[in-house]
Amino acid sequence: MRFRKQFVSFFMVLCIILSTGYFLSTAKLRFIRYTPMPCPESTEELSNPYIGWYQVQRYLLSDTLSFDLDMITGLEQKPGLVLLEINLQNYADCPVTSAGLQNLDTLFHCWETTRKQLIVRFLYDWDGDARAQEPEELSLILEHMSQTVPVLNRYSDSVYILQGIFIGSWGEMHGSNHANEEDMRTLMQHLNTLVSPDIFLAVRTPEQWRSMTGQTEPLSAGQASGHSLAARLGLFNDGMLGSETDLNTYQESSSDHTSNATGKRSREEEIRFQSLLCDSVPNGGEVIIDNPHNDFAPAVTYLRDAHVSYLNGSYDEAVLSKWQADRYRGEGPFQGMNGRDYIGRHLGYRYVLRSSDCTSPDLPGEAAQFSAILENVGFSGSYVPFELSLSLVAVERKNVYTIPLQTDIRSLSPGTQLMLSAPLELPDYMTGTYQLCLKITDPATGCEVRLANDTAHTAYGHAIGNLEIRSFPKFSQ
């Protein structure tokens, strides 16, 4: 009898221990069900940073502040590219004065408040007569660089690209007494030592790129991530699609190949060169002179192959109007859209969410796995790093959990897909229903990068699905 009582007592204690253990273990167990939201591709224009149509604003620097600052500060505060052409003609025979430098600082400060991304070009000529307008001595141009670039660097969060090396008609590195290889190398090397590594540089032609860098071919993906001149030197082609040679940007097709490895190459070879180069540095400019090379269909092929991310939105209007009158005839949601809008929506990167999922852990204690597929349908990738995050926003409560996604979206080249993934440690989250939101942000400007999807948008980004977390595998139907 005594043994039976002991056994019953032991059994009851054991049951209590097991029950308590089960309760404690199941209190931490989580079960999930994920329901992705539909994510149809959008054809809307997206106001994303660093890409698209740019506007041109011209300023003649002087000792007198003559800029329309109210026009600048009155602009709508949203992402967008602006090319600032800053003419130093008033200082062609002397250093820039302290008053001139202060006015330059005031100009950049006003533009910084607009949240625009700035493309900057210093020049001496707007009339196509650089030889008459530029300083005679190369040393004075070098001094102007040393004076103005420190001002530029103070606004490196706003300045995206510095085009050219101060010389040439319209600042395009041709028609100048200094447009010889030795002087241009001297100017570029000096500029490279001055300009913040956060700012891209750009030259007019692939031939100049090879001459300035001493490289016959673009850098590999690993090399292109550094801060060398070759790693941050892009292109600005202001003769884009203007002729078979893009107005002497490329070699004549019928010409013999140059024996100089860094020299000018045929159109086909230079497009292949740009396709490799502009995976890691920006390419843009303006299209000019209505001709068959800039008809809509061949223009799209060129812009895609050369990875063009920005174009002048007002010049050449004859070409832009021709695109406006044409239609995109390919498959997909853009079918029937006018050519000008189609091109504008594909300049640069354009990210489309193709799918998302969240899978349950295989074993207790393991993390659930979130995943999503992004596709880049634009003409180029991004050249600056963006921050990606996944937020779990509680429907019933005010709880919000935000998880950084560790990925470099610069690797998402045009026409490719990228899988985003993150572990979800389920015991860390309260039970309930959550809306999952995906957000991409440019840390330099604070601007959000919108996805090209017709999905609900919130303060936490694009809503992509609903996640139910329960202590027991019981879900509403």
The full length of the chain comes to 477
CB 385 within 8 A of CB 408: yes
3-state secondary structure of 151: helix
CB 205 within 8 A of CB 237: yes
> Which of 30-39, 219-228, 246-255 has the highest mean predicted lDDT (pLDDT)?
30-39
| Gap between the Cα atoms of 161 and 309, Å rounded | 12
What's CA 121's distance to the chain center, in Å? Answer: 19
4-13, 41-50, 245-254: lowest mean pLDDT where? 4-13
224-228, 245-249, 338-342, 344-348: lowest mean pLDDT where? 224-228
pLDDT at 362: 73
CB 159 within 8 A of CB 86: no
Once rounded to an integer, what is the mean pLDDT over residues 322-340? 97
> Which of 22-36, 146-160, 391-405, 463-477 has the highest mean predicted lDDT (pLDDT)?
146-160
| Gap between the Cα atoms of 190 and 8, Å rounded | 91
Q: How far is CA 454 from CA 80, 352, 448, in A?
A: 22, 10, 16
The pTM is what?
0.91
CB 470 within 8 A of CB 418: no
pLDDT at 255: 57
Number of C-beta neighbours around residue 134 at 10 A: 26
Kindly give the pairing relationship between strand 351-359 and strand 310-312.
unpaired
Cβ-count burial of 356 within 10 angstroms (0-12 exposed, 13-18 middle, 19+ buried)? buried
Alpha helices in 174-312 (DSSP H): 181-194, 206-213, 229-232, 267-277, 296-305
**24 vs 399, higher pLDDT:** 399
pLDDT at 8: 45
What's CA 433's distance to the chain center, in Å? Answer: 34
Quote the DSSP letter at residue 232: H
Cβ-count burial of 145 within 10 angstroms (0-12 exposed, 13-18 middle, 19+ buried)? buried
Read off the pLDDT band of 17 (50, 70, 90).
Answer: very low
Residue 369 tokens read as: 């796995």
CB 277 within 8 A of CB 253: no
Residue 272 predicted with pLDDT over 50: yes
Q: What is the b/e burial string over 340-351, where b = at least 16 CB atoms within 10 angstroms of the residue's CB?
A: bebbbbbbbbbb
Alpha helices in 58-180 (DSSP H): 69-73, 98-112, 130-133, 138-153
| Gap between the Cα atoms of 24 and 19, Å rounded | 8
H or E stretch including 452? Answer: none
pLDDT digits (tens, 9 = 90+) for 395-406: 877 789 999 999
pLDDT at 428: 85
The verdict on whether omega for the bond into residue 326 sits within 30 degrees of 0, i.e. cis, is no
